[in-house]
Amino acid sequence: MTAREESTQTDQSRVATGSLSSLKLKDVLKFISSLLLPLTLGVFTVIITVQQHEVGKQQREQDRRSSELQREQDRRSSELQREQERNLNDERYKNDRLDTYIKEMGKLLEKHNGSIISSDVGITLARVKTLNVFRQLDPQRTVRVIRFLYEAKQLTDTQENRSLDLSTAELFDIDFRNSSVNKKKLNSLSLTSMYLSNTTFIGLEMGHVKFSDTQFTIVNFSLSNISHGDFSSTTFNNANFSYANLSDTTFEKAQLKNMNFSYTHMNSVSFSSAELDTLNYSSANIRNVSFTGSSLRNINFSNVSLINVQLPSTRFEHANFTHAQLFNTSFKSGTLQNVDSSFALMNDVDFSSVIKLSNVNFSYAPLSNVKFPDAQLVNVSFLCADLSYPDFQGAHFQNTSFSSAILISAKFERTEASFTNFGQANTILARFDDANLNYSNFSHANIKRASFVRANLNEVEFSRANLYKVNFNGTNITDKQLHSALSIQDALLPNKTLAQDANLIKNGQHDCTSSAINGWTLQSGNVSKVMFGKNEINCQFTLQSISTGATMHQRVILSGIWDSSSWPYSQAVLRANMSIGVTMQLRGIDSNDLVLARYSLNSTGTNDSLILSDEIRQLEVFIEFSANDNCGNGTNCWCSDIKLFIIYGTYLELFRGGE
């Protein structure tokens, strides 16, 4: 076969194959088209059927819920109706019980001429009926029972008429204002040995009331006025007496917990032998009140006023007296632990023979005539406290601090005060006679005129302390301790001699071994040395020529010697011996070389002083030998023993004494 024939045959074969393929595709499309419409209708039918089924299901669920709701409403309506019927029946029953009780009690009262207690049988019947009706009635009707008994004088306890015994009765949610006269007065009420919960006495005037042995849980006496009340052996838990007035009332042997006496006025009230836990007396006014033998825990006395209050043999644990005012108050023989009395004002307060003051804070407190004799003080702070005439005689100190405190005329005789801190304290005129002060600290303290007679001063720190006129007779103080002090001027030493500060004047007594007047500036004339008293060491400054006279001076720079901020009320003292015709001036000079103050000294006096002020920077001693006939031949015009020193002090001494 030729190539052309083969090509022709191939093309024919391709045409035949294409025709067959075209015929098959059309048939497939026609077939699919014939199936599409029935399939779509089927899908829509299924969807509609499912939706109708879901709607039917929701309708059935809604019908079911509606049916249940209707049944619940019917049930509730039925229960409400039954509840109302029960309440009505209960109300009728309680009213009947109340009416029956009052009628029966009325007959008893009538039978016994208004005095049920005249008959033992009557008392028993009345008690049983009353306790029984209390258990059956609600608070509102219980109040009516109490008022009925109160008005019938069956809850009044007097010598002529005993109160009905309601002991063991339990009353809840009672507002006693509804039992009072005009909701204001409730006098001579007696409810002893009962249990009262959630009761109210707000604003009531209550005289001669008796609640002894009663248990109170959640009770409110706020704004009430209670006189001659008896709460002895009573138990309180969560009680409110705020803003109340209490007089001639007793809480003896009571147990008081979680109570509020803030802003209360008390007069002649007794808490003796009571147990007090978590009580608030803040800002209360307390007069003539006794806590003798009581136990007090977590007590708030902040901002309180205590006058003539007795707290002997009491036990305090965690108490707050900050900013309180205490006058003529006694803690004698008591125990105080973890007490904060900072900023408290105390006058004539007695802590004598206290068994222990432990972790007590008197910081910044003004304390006048406060007594601590024979007390035990452990971890007590008097930081910056102001103590006037305190008495610590025979006390025992352990880790106690008087740092920066004021201790005017304090008594520390026979104290055991080892390791006690008196740093920067003002102990002017204090007495430490026979005290044991081993290892105590008086650094930078002002101890002027204090007495340490026979005191044990082993290793006591006196660095930069002011020991002016201190009595060290019979002590074991060392030279090292004395030399570390700021001033020891005129202090009486163990050898009974008077100590002297270093002279601020150089060559205050002319050195006979030198011809010059060292340290002095000679302004005019001529001054020479003359030996006196056959003393080869000291000579007099003597005027050489009476025709011209002479003047000389010496200046002392105060920087490093005197600090006005630490010792603002200090004096520079000039002492000297001189003949007639010689005068001295002590001058205060400022930074501009101006004389701000001057004092003169002559032969008629032996010393003079000048008050130092902030502006004074230097002191000058100016000596003038007069050119007149008073000096005779010159040898009679002389001066010697010139000494200048400073008496260090504070303004406290100016206003409180000590000079």
* Angstrom distance (rounded) from CA 563 to CA 486: 11
Task: Report the run of H or E that residue 269 belongs to, with start and end.
Answer: strand 265-270
Q: What is the dihedral of CA 59, 63, 66, 70, to 10 degrees?
A: 170
- Does the 514-648 domain belong in CATH 2.20.28? no
pLDDT of res. 15: 46
* Angstrom distance (rounded) from CA 421 to CA 526: 55
User: Which tokens in the block code for residue 564?
Assistant: 């006005």
From 642, 398, 627, select the one nearest 506 (Cα to Cα). 642
* Angstrom distance (rounded) from CA 519 to CA 509: 11
* Sequence-separated contacts (24+) of 481-489 with Cβ below 8 Å: 481/457, 486/444, 486/648, 487/645, 487/646, 487/647, 487/648, 489/645, 489/647
* Angstrom distance (rounded) from CA 180 to CA 10: 131
Q: Do domains 169-259 and 355-507 have the same CATH topology?
A: yes
260 touches 202 (CB < 8 A):
no
- Domain residue extents for the chain: 89-166, 169-259, 271-340, 355-507, 514-648
- Does the 355-507 domain belong in CATH 1.10.10? no
* Angstrom distance (rounded) from CA 213 to CA 232: 7
User: Which tokens in the block code for residue 192?
Assistant: 């002893």
10 Å Cβ neighbour count for 343? 18
* Angstrom distance (rounded) from CA 552 to CA 327: 60
* Angstrom distance (rounded) from CA 206 to CA 190: 11
* Angstrom distance (rounded) from CA 131 to CA 149: 12
Q: Are strands 305-307 and 638-647 parallel, antiparallel or unpaired?
A: unpaired
- Give the chain's residues under pLDDT 50: 15-16, 20, 634, 659
Q: Are strands 571-578 and 607-611 parallel, antiparallel or unpaired?
A: antiparallel
Q: What is the dihedral of CA 36, 37, 39, 42, to 10 degrees?
A: 170
Task: Report the run of H or E that residue 238 belongs to, with start and end.
Answer: strand 235-240
Q: Which residues pair with 416 in a beta bridge?
A: 396, 436
Q: Which residues pair with 557 in a beta bridge?
A: 618
Burial class (CB in 10 A: 0-12, 13-18, 19+), 49: exposed
* Angstrom distance (rounded) from CA 116 to CA 110: 9
* Angstrom distance (rounded) from CA 309 to CA 318: 19
Name the one residue in this structure whose structure tokens are 């008022």: 147
User: Which tokens in the block code for residue 235?
Assistant: 């138990």
* Angstrom distance (rounded) from CA 349 to CA 332: 9
373 touches 353 (CB < 8 A):
yes
Q: Which CATH architecture has domain 169-259?
A: 3 Solenoid (2.160)
Helices 3-111 + 120-136 axis angle, to 10: 160
From 338, 255, 267, 348, select the one nearest 295 (Cα to Cα). 255
